[in-house]
Amino acid sequence: MALEWVVLGYAAGAEAVMVLLLTIPGLDGLRKGLIAVTRNLLKPFMSVVPFCLFLLMDIYWKYETRPDCEGESCSPTEHLRHQKSIMKSQRNALLIGAALIFYWLLYSVTHLVVKIEQLKQRVERLKIKE
């Protein structure tokens, strides 16, 4: 089950890097290529959303079916295992949230950068006409 978390982590990292590269000032020469690459990757990265929902359902199922460990009913080892399971679930939920937020940011930033490029081209055409 750890492979899916690694894949989600790499996807979130790639999204974060692309958002960072699109928003860094001074990369005007590379921006057109970055926009093209990012626009082509938005559809494949859309698969992150249902994947995150699946993993969120997995976390919920594990939360609902795990044995309760309260009071004197379990040994210190079982109590430690219970706490470790809770920490992993919280970490994985944060990873899911980060992946979804980075996808939304990537989509929004790409859309805004494309609009800015279109407006720049429009202004240049209007300057040429005058």
69, two tokens: 């460990």
User: Within 10 A of 49 (CB to CB), how many other CB atoms are there?
Assistant: 13
Among candidates 58, 55, 35, 60, which has minimal Cα distance to 99? 55
- pLDDT tens digits for 35-48? 888 888 888 888 88
**Residue owning tokens 């089950």:** 1
- Mean pLDDT for 69-84 is 78
pLDDT at 109: 93
pTM for this predicted structure: 0.81
Q: What is the CA radius of gyration of the chain?
A: 22
